[in-house]
């Protein structure tokens, strides 16, 4: 009898869900999960005990991500178990920065938020600044010796959060200290 090796890779929506759990979900006031399958859609719940944080996260997180014929929908729920919607446009850069501060405050990867233009003469952008750390979790990654996903914190947060809100660019950064 031959030994069969059953190789199975994590689908991209599972990787994305794990990116959320290992970034946003590291905040003690936030729980990411469960991941609920509904036909060709998956619903990722983001629960928080802080209603202001819930509103900020509903504004900043990508609401839906397409993976071919599968959609992952992110739903933010407050401490009363009610679905929360984001703040409507228009929002100016400092208002977006305030949302970043409220949404990420208490997260061990988050350090500060800075508002400044990316280039002289350009409009202000919002820079969430994260610790220079690596986020790593098991992910069936055959290209990695330990089969893990490995990414710099600022990059992984940039994957799960919007790149702009109401036309205000959000540029994810690692702190400037070595």
3-state per-residue secondary structure call for 28-75: CCEEEEEEEEECCEEEEEEEECCHHHHHHHHHHECCEEEECCEEEEEE
Greatest alpha-carbon span in the chain:
71
Q: Is the pLDDT of residue 178 over 50?
A: yes
Express each pLDDT in 133-166 by its tens digit. Answer: 999 987 776 666 677 788 999 999 999 999 999 9
Task: Measure Cα distances from 70 to 11, 64, 65, 84, 161 in Å.
Answer: 10, 10, 8, 23, 19
In the predicted model, what is the mean pLDDT of the chain? 92
Mean of the pLDDT values across residues 120-132? 97
pLDDT at res. 138:
79
Higher pLDDT residue, 178 or 38? Answer: 38
Q: Is the pLDDT of residue 7 over 60?
A: no
Express each pLDDT in 17-38 by its tens digit. Answer: 999 999 999 999 999 999 999 9
Q: Is the Cβ–Cβ distance between 12 and 18 less than 8 Å?
A: no
Rg (CA), the chain: 17
pLDDT at res. 45:
97
Mean of the pLDDT values across residues 83-106? 98
pLDDT at res. 1:
45
User: What's the distance, CA 56 to chain centroid?
Assistant: 12
pLDDT band (50, 70, 90) for residue 51: very high
Using CA atoms, how far apart are residues 144 and 93, in angstroms rounded to an integer?
Answer: 39
pLDDT band (50, 70, 90) for residue 12: very high
- Hey, what are 114's tokens? 């800075």
């Amino acid at each position: 009898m031959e030994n069969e090796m059953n190789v199975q890779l994590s689908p991209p929506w599972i990787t994305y869900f794990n990116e959320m759990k290992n970034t946003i979900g590291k905040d003690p006031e936030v729980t990411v999960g469960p991941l609920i399958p509904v036909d060709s859609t998956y619903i990722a719940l983001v629960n928080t005990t802080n209603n202001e944080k819930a509103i900020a996260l509903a504004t900043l997180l990508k609401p839906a991500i397409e993976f071919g014929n599968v959609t992952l929908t992110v739903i933010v729920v407050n401490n009363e178990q009610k679905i929360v919607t984001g703040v409507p446009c228009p929002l100016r850069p400092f208002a977006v920065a305030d949302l970043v501060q409220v949404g990420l405050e208490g997260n061990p990867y988050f350090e500060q938020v800075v508002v400044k233009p990316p280039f002289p003469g350009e409009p202000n952008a919002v820079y969430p600044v994260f610790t220079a750390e690596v986020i790593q979790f098991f992910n069936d990654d055959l290209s990695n010796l330990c089969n893990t996903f490995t990414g710099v914190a600022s990059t992984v947060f940039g994957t799960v959060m919007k790149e702009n809100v109401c036309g205000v660019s959000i540029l994810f950064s690692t702190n400037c200290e070595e």
